[in-house]
Structure 1
Amino acid sequence: MIEPKAPHLSNIEIWRKWKEDGDIEAKKRLIEFYLTLVEYVSNRMAIGLPKNVSKDDLASNGVMGLIDAIEKFDYRRGLQFETYASWRIRGAIIDGLRQGDWVPRSVREKAKKIEEAYQILEQKVLRSVTDAEISDYLNVSEKEFGHMLQEIAVTTVCSLEDPIREEESETRLSLLVDEKAKNPDHKVNEFYLKESLVRGIERLTEKERTVISLFYYEELSLSEIAEVMSLSPSRISQLHSKAILRLRGVLDKQKDQLMQN
């Protein structure tokens, strides 16, 4: 991640002035100091999005997420602000994308069909299914299936960062992040969701697991992953889409079970 340049005052001193003294100038300095986070996150999330999605709009929404993070962050807990802020920035950008309804309904429907196909077939055979099996289930050729994956690639870029439930801000990927203890019911639900995610990851192919790891944890772009894995960017995009659809199906199934309990 790009590191912002050091300010004249230490971060702790700036945070103290803002949080304890309510110094608006200190807040402004924090915003300016961490603007590079907005640039980094918005540029990364722009990868794979349609050209009609403005990078300026992504950045504008990201700034709102940064301001929200600065207002809510408790510097006294000794946590890493950059990590916390990155989630808030991503969330604000995703909210903006949802409001813009930038994905055609037909593309969303295709993504849902493939997600359901993975969920049904893998639940039936209890293993990772092949492209041939998915294509046969969908009654399309493997070539057509590949084209479908390319078409829906833009719907999977932010999928793990979508909320688990519509009314909550917790994301699927945040289940992998250690958090402060919450109420017992929440912890039980979180445990089963984590277990489902682990099982889902285990069912991914080796290449799919590598793409997920490099994209979400090493924070490489899809083009950078293509270089690392010596594959074409389009192939990496397909692997990413398949991995996300598998994981999304697993988590959605677990979510439905939890809501029924």
Structure 2
Amino acid sequence: MNERKTSHLNYPDLWEKWKEHGDLEAKKKLIENYLYIVDYVSSRLAIGLPRNVSKDDLVSNGTMGLIDALHKFDYQRGLQFETYASWRVRGSILDGLRQGDWVPRSVREKAKKIEEAYQHLEQKYLRTVSDAEMCEYLGMTEKEFHHVLQEVAVMSLCSLEDPIREEESETRMSILVDEKARNPDYKVNESYLKESLIKGIEKLTEKERIVVSLLYYEDLSLSEIAEVMQLSPSRISQLHSKAILRLRGSLEKQRDLLLQND
């Protein structure tokens, strides 16, 4: 039965030696064979990050995530290790970035200000608000608004990986990935959050929805999305920032409503 489940897995002999016999040489070879995942994920995340963020640091944190994935992966379940490892590597890199406090406080404050503005205006008008309406509310010119979006773009890479609330461990991305069965209470909350996220995505502009879809579901980089949509990378970065800030505001609003009804 195990042979049937693992027949599609790359390097089955190495996996068996490592998992069943604790063969460290097999583990080393698996790490070497899957290092390309670290390079790919770190290269994607490096796009748009400040120059002071070292690619070597991204790779180092990503490698730790890969090693963690090798320890936790159940090779007999018939799952693709590459997919599982990509999430672990990405999460490890983002954890390292957060711990390094790489986003200046001023940028976080600007992001929060825009997020709250989206939340307030879209609740007021019950529709997607335009850049012009945002500029008027924030007291900015359109050029200044786009400049701020470019600044907070480096922060939005972590947005769906951050806790929904600072005191909680549950993340926005966790509601998109069903890794294993949860208890009934969690499933109810998960279902509610998924519904909230769907509603938030529906409020995005068409271009913002395309960017979110291509980035998070088609696994394209921002530069690749720019080519597909025939827009500049900076414009794609702005669309991504707006989409994430809208979604954050939408989820916060729905979360507050849920808490009020409890």
Report deviation, 1:164: 3.5
Match of 2:187 in 1: 187
- Label 1:192 to 1:122 Cα distance change in 2 as closer, same or farther (>3 A): same
- Label 1:241 to 1:230 Cα distance change in 2 as closer, same or farther (>3 A): same
Matched, 1:237 2:248: no
Report deviation, 1:61: 0.3
Match of 1:91 in 2: 91
Q: Deviations over 1:167-222 (max 9, x none)?
A: 76653234223433210111011101100100000000000011111111222221
Matched, 1:56 2:28: no
> What does 1:208-247 align with in structure 2 at a 5 Å threshold?
208-247=208-247
Counterparts of 2:256 and 2:66, CA distance in 1: 32
Number of paired residues? 253
- Label 1:15 to 1:169 Cα distance change in 2 as closer, same or farther (>3 A): farther
Report deviation, 1:258: 5.1
Letter in 2 for 1:212: V
Q: Deviations over 1:81-112 (max 9, x none)?
A: 11111111111111111111111111110000
- Label 1:258 to 1:93 Cα distance change in 2 as closer, same or farther (>3 A): farther
> What does 1:69-108 align with in structure 2 at a 5 Å threshold?
69-108=69-108
- Normalised TM-score (structure 2): 0.90
Matched, 1:151 2:151: yes
Q: Where do 5+ consecutive residues of structure 2 fail to align?
A: 1-8
Match of 2:20 in 1: 20
Counterparts of 2:165 and 2:50, CA distance in 1: 26
- Label 1:255 to 1:32 Cα distance change in 2 as closer, same or farther (>3 A): farther
Letter in 2 for 1:238: Q
Counterparts of 1:10 and 1:235, CA distance in 2: 39
Match of 2:128 in 1: 128
SS at match of 2:76: helix
Match of 1:116 in 2: 116
Letter in 1 for 2:218: E
Q: Where do 5+ consecutive residues of structure 1 fail to align?
A: 1-8
Matched, 1:37 2:34: no
Report deviation, 1:165: 5.0
Counterparts of 1:76 and 1:170, CA distance in 2: 28
SS at match of 2:180: coil
> What does 1:191-202 align with in structure 2 at a 5 Å threshold?
191-202=191-202
- Label 1:170 to 1:20 Cα distance change in 2 as closer, same or farther (>3 A): farther
Counterparts of 2:51 and 2:179, CA distance in 1: 36
Greater Cα offset, 171-180 or 142-151: 171-180
- Label 1:170 to 1:34 Cα distance change in 2 as closer, same or farther (>3 A): farther
Counterparts of 1:125 and 1:160, CA distance in 2: 25
Counterparts of 1:156 and 1:187, CA distance in 2: 27
Letter in 1 for 2:243: A
Q: CA RMSD in A?
A: 1.9
Letter in 2 for 1:126: L
Match of 2:5 in 1: none
